[in-house]
A = this chain, B = another copy of it.
Amino acid sequence: MESRIDRIKKQLHGASYKLTPQREATVRVLLENEEDHLSAEDVYLLVKEKAPEIGLATVYRTLELLTELKIVDKINFGDGVSRYDLRQEGAAHFHHHLVCIECGAVDEIQEDLLDDVEAVVEKRWNFTVKDHRLTFHGICWRCNERHANEDEQ
């Protein structure tokens, strides 16, 4: 955890930004909620618990900065807010998401899975892929299991 923060600090310094207390508190919240998909407001409320003086605009600016440095990815699941997601260290591409249309859960797929598709896109469309967003909408394993049990009855 600390080493992760240190490496992020170095990334910031490398781009001649400082790791201010507010930025550090924001990064810590993101690390502590790595599996979640927090909105700026969510992050703000959580950061406020440890650094009550922080302003919402600072959170927005910090998230924007982290996005620029590809430390986090900004994503939109269609509910009107942007959400921020820590990128796996060293990952070339953003990971994928499974959004359940029944229970609303959002699960992650860290494997890339798109190598073949990207090869096709690069060749057939002469498009140089730098990143991607892939989200599946459907029924998650929990809801599927629940339905299976209900049918058994």
* Chain A residues at the B interface, C-beta cutoff of 8 Å: 74, 76, 78, 82, 98, 101, 107, 109, 113-114, 116-118, 120-121, 125-141, 144-145
Contacts and interface: CB of A to CB of B under 8 A. Distances in A.
> Assembly of this chain: how many copies?
2
Contact of A125 (B109, B117, B134, B137): B109
Contact of A136 (B74, B121, B136, B144): B121
B118 A136 contact: yes
Contacts of A129: 136-138
B133 A138 contact: no
B117 A141 contact: no
Nearest to A148: B126
A15 to B, nearest CB: 18
Contacts of A113: 117, 120-121
Contact of A101 (B76, B130, B138, B145): B130
Contact of A74 (B74, B78, B145): B78
12 contacts: A76-B78, A78-B82, A98-B127, A107-B127, A114-B117, A127-B136, A127-B139, A127-B140, A128-B139, A130-B137, A131-B138, A133-B135
Nearest to A112: B117
Nearest to A120: B113
A109 to B, nearest CB: 7
Contact of A134 (B74, B116, B132): B132
A126 B100 CA distance: 12
